[in-house]
Structure 1
């Protein structure tokens, strides 16, 4: 009865886990994405107000409502047709600068596509003000004491028609009182735009202006924000990068002013980042503001500058707008951008995750396939733990060999659990067996498994990486599901019912692995262990295909090691069979002469 009760509780708990996992799955592994149309906001300042709840985001973000997508396409066509634009043509970024306001509001990421389709368009990061996916940067000044400074409606003049890494472009505008404002834009091969601000005073009196730079965006296109994956306001202040601030925090208070001098400030999605980087010569104030209607702004504001007649004042600010490619971010760090690579939300275990990423990326550069790189990574990890695994398997084999003796103790003291446990511990000591030795390799693999999970989920390098056959994206779940006959039926199974080929392979290899392990003493435990592989099949089915490939490969290597051990030590099985014969005779003799063992009186 006790065993049956334990089994019932185990089955109930497994059912709760499966249902709860399906309900909260997006908190652990965000679901497949829709095509990205990334964010932006209107250049007009507004009074901070609380926002309405946004539509449920996806892992990459982007517009979700069909009406918004259609409106965005129409607005983009109209906005980008304007002749008042300077083209941007660089290896990393394509797009244009809007001469109305001098805004950087049209940016495409040339190295990244919206989907795995061959004809997919580049990812759009910036969109003009007023469009549903608005997201842009503005560099400017606030005039003080009546000084007329350029605004978001100012039409600038450009000294060139195309911004490239070889050809910077300077925008200029003069007010009626003799002041000329300039912005010189330069771009590199990746995702960094440098804006050098200047103001020349040809008037009769000194003027005072306050320089600023800002990034505006809509929350409507934000990617999912969870406890393992941050999306929202992000910056480095006095060298410290904190992921604690999200859009709700800013919307609730209207303004958040992090402590410390900003090294950089902006907004992040899981894969993308738009951030302003002050030059550091003059300390700026960094703030996040909520503007209402789901619009947010990251500001850099410098102290007021007085410019005497005939004098010129200026400074520079850099704009990072692109994909969070680890190598690119680290290269910018070497150029003086403090901790920009920490914009990737590695979490508490960065010290372990980054080496795993480095090894995986190095293997990929050698074999040119991330699926093969994951398999090689598994081989390396298992090879490093081979001595520990051998000790584990020897302990498991020894446990299997003493199972008959343990069974006798269980039968003899089945009504006296305390004596049963004492006798079993004495048997362990006599045979030199450590029942916990088999857990060590599992504990050692947990950090590797979690590190690979983080690498697959948050690194842009893993995005849209194919393996073989039907696996076109290792960072996404297995696309072939059994219940819809691998896509032949026109529906997608809900939640954890989306069991794919990789999930079945995972459950099968885990079942084979458990079959080679010594059986548990408790019959209820045996039944739980029999169910476990198939429960894990359901739990892991929605995870990244690359993660399942790692686990399947690890299971196959474990099975191979187990068979290797048993082939090397056939005496363990022979000894177990001999012990079983001796114990059977001993039990029969005891029963014949003494009768069944009874528990002591209390």
Structure 2
């Protein structure tokens, strides 16, 4: 292999090694675990203002005077939410959807672990909720329209279920009658219909809005560059992502009263917050224009997204209404895809597919359907590896044949190196003549390696980002393919009576599990079938690479390690069999003998 091709492969591999080393030496800080058994903070003890979110036209923190006290005393007034997949309640103060749990998901793999809390009320450690209201127009004040602290009355519906919607009512001092009807489907989509009737005798104007507000970043935020967590918005086909860490750097917009980013949506769009596995999104009706706002309040550490619809003008006696949707739940690919089919524009892009979306989307599609067929995500990853190797086999065949010939030429290349000494030009000329004489193309081995790198990163993205691998078991001790191998060489894989080191500790680097050790061995065996570089430094780097990767990938998701083991095993098998068909007899340590001699010109005569 000439220097240019060797340097290309070496640079690619070393870059990969540097990236992986950075992941291990500088991992993201582990978030503090919240004690699910800790007593809840009472409303009067809460350091958070009851008006966590205010009308978009009001200054941040503005609380209508008469409603502030009512918010504290009446916070216990709630309506239950109960469906097959959701449980929680809605506060009648502000009509906030602020207490939501996901029945199908638990915090850990322990079956007794608490179920996941999606939204939390003002009294919780991290308030996170959806709020709807109306921004006052000409002639109206904040007291004349419903906002964060409006005391709503129940007009119909005792419990919000998938079959029974909830209708709330509030009459304003200005002679306006407001209704809010909240419905929910069998999954995670709420439908909120806001209506206003003008009984005042004078023309009035006001604008409906929806808000999702949260105080502080999510407690379980990963802070990993491969994953986007923060604001996600779709505006007429253009996806916008703003990380939580970037929001304090947004420009201050006086009209919004805070740091904000404003998007004007003409026809189709949505905006909300996306975390690792969960998402909340405001979705106005398809075909309607609205202003999408991502906002950050420095003083109170409040993140907020808004969907502000155009101002409505009501004549005396007139009634108008507007319907928006709220997604609040798990980022299940199949569920989100169904909502997209029902009209939510490009909703599937709310999942963070990354730069290689043209690979991650089809890879996940195949993996998802394999899992539906097989019923086990671990075996599905192995089957996916077989399919990928089958697609790359035509390229791999040429590569393996070339490598087999180069492996056989290794002794002659060593002689050339000895004869050339420090004369690199002479060595290059001799190697090119040797390749030409034996019809060997050293560059043929580069393409399969280069193609494997984006596939690897795409699969890593799929395994790390998608919800479907969360808490997905394989076999035996592997109970979560999205987490590192829990076994440890430090306690002899569970034989000694102490637990493995915490994944966030330095000892975790040397606390190798069973899968990483198998990975190192499979890489070493597969490497033995390839010709060693003639350069001593390169040869040493390649010799150490399997063991370096073994330690570095030990803290990676076990699903990714499983893929690499399967890939190495299939590669070794393919290469071994192809070398046999070419007349070579390699053993498992890479030593090669010829099963028949090459015919020389004398033999042919």
Q: TM-score range by the shorter chain?
A: 0.7 to 0.9
1:436-447 matched pairs, under 5 angstroms: 436-447=443-454
Q: Specify which of 236, 242, 246 is matched with residue 240 of structure 2.
A: 242
Give yes or no for contact 2:583–2:596 (8 Å, CA) kept in 1. no
Secondary structure of residue in 1 paired with 2:490? coil
SS of 1:249's partner is helix
d(CA) in 2 for partners of 1:173, 1:330: 36
TM-aligned CA deviation for residue 42 of structure 1: 5.0
TM superposition shift of 1:168: 1.0
Aligned to 1:138: 131
Matches within 5 A, 1:336-355: 336-355=343-362
**1:476 corresponds to:** 483
Which of 352, 370, 380 in structure 2 is aligned with 1:363?
A: 370
Which stretch of structure 1 is more off in the superposition, 287-296 or 430-439? Answer: 287-296
- 1:372: Cα distance to partner? 0.4
- 2:517 corresponds to: 504
Picking from 309, 320, 327, the partner of 1:320 is 327
Q: Which runs of 5+ in 2 are unaligned?
A: 1-10, 37-47, 62-71, 252-257, 586-591, 599-605
**Aligned position for 1:150:** 146
* Equivalent residue for 2:194, pick from 194, 197, 209: 197
Separation in 2, partners of 1:85, 1:403:
78
Unaligned 5+ segments in structure 1 are 1-9, 50-78, 580-602
Aligned to 1:23: 25
1:188 pairs, out of 181, 185, 188, with 185
Given that 2:230 and 2:273 are in contact with CA atoms closer than 8 Å, whether structure 1 keeps it comes out as: yes
1:412 counterpart residue number: 419
Counterpart residue number, 1:165: 162
Report the alpha carbon displacement of residue 170 of structure 1 after superposing the two structures with TM: 0.6
Distance 1:552 1:32, change over 3 A: farther
Q: Deviations over 1:443-488 (max 9, x none)?
A: 2222221111011111111111011111111011111122244354
Residue aligning to 2:269: 263
Aligned partner (choices 219, 229, 246) of residue 231 of structure 1: 229
Question: Partners in 2 of 1:547 and 1:348 — Cα distance?
Answer: 19
1:275-354 equivalences in 2 (<5 Å): 275-280=281-286, 282-291=288-297, 292-354=299-361
Q: Using the TM superposition, give the Cα deviation of residue 552 of structure 1 relative to its aligned residue in structure 2, in angstroms.
A: 0.5
Which residue is equivalent to 1:489?
498
- The CA deviation string for residues 483-515 of structure 1, in whole angstroms up to 9 with x for no partner, is 244354344352522321111111111111112
Q: 1:533 to 1:35 in 2, by over 3 A?
A: farther
2:268 aligned with 1:274 = no
Taking only aligned residues, the RMSD between alpha carbons, in angstroms, comes to 3.0
1:209 to 201, 206, 209: 206
The whole-number CA distance in structure 1 between the counterparts of 2:413 and 2:184 is 73
Q: Distance in 2 between matches of 1:392 and 1:19?
A: 29
Q: Distance in 2 between matches of 1:206 and 1:17?
A: 63
Shift of 1:94: 1.7
Q: CA deviation at 1:576?
A: 9.7
Q: Deviations over 1:320-348 (max 9, x none)?
A: 11111112212111222112111111112
Shift of 1:35: 6.5
Please state how far the C-alpha of 1:440 moved relative to its aligned partner. Answer: 2.4
| Higher deviation after alignment, 198-207 or 361-370 | 198-207
| Cα separation, partners in 2 of 1:362 and 1:410, compared to 1, 3 Å | same
Secondary structure (helix, strand or coil) at the match of 1:419 reads helix
Name the CA shift for 1:417/1:432 in 2 (closer, same or farther; >3 Å): same
Post-superposition shift, 1:271?
1.4
Query: Match for residue 524 of structure 1?
Result: 537
Q: What secondary structure, in the 3-state scheme, does the structure 1 residue paired with 2:190 have?
A: strand
Contact 1:225 1:232 in 2 (8 A): no
CA change 1:547–1:393 in 2 (3 A) is same
For the residue of structure 2 that corresponds to 1:358, the secondary structure is: helix
The answer for the alignment partner of 2:51 in structure 1 is 43
Q: In structure 1, the residue corresponding to 2:179 is in which secondary structure? A: strand
Q: Could you tell me how far 1:391 is from its partner in structure 2? A: 1.9
Indicate how the Cα distance of structure 1 residues 247 and 520 shifts in structure 2: closer, same or farther if over 3 A, else same. Answer: closer
Residues 1:328 and 1:165: Cα distance change in structure 2 (over 3 Å) = same
Q: Which has the higher contact order (CA 8 A, sep 6+)?
A: 1
CA contact (8 A) 2:51 2:149 kept: no
1:409-446 deviation line (CA, Å, top 9, x unaligned): 22222242211210111110110011222222222222
Measured after TM superposition, the shift of residue 282 of structure 1 is 4.5
Shift of 1:196: 0.4
Scaled by the length of structure 2, the TM-score of the pair is 0.82
Instruction: Provide the C-alpha distance between the structure 2 equivalents of 1:184 and 1:397, rounded to a whole number of angstroms.
Output: 71
In 2: Cα distance, 1:410 partner to 1:229 partner: 47
- Deviations for 1:126-185, whole angstroms, at most 9, x for unmatched residues? 100242211001111133424622233322122111111211111111234532110011
Q: 1:193 to 1:182 in 2, by over 3 A?
A: same
Query: Is the partner of 1:399 in helix, strand or coil?
Result: helix
The aligned counterpart of 1:104 is: 97
Q: How many residues align?
A: 536
Q: Which moved more, 1:364-373 or 1:169-178?
A: 169-178
The CA deviation at 1:33 is 8.9
C-alpha distance in structure 2 between counterparts of 1:244 and 1:174, whole Å: 38
CA distance in structure 1 between the aligned counterparts of 2:366 and 2:338, rounded to whole angstroms: 18
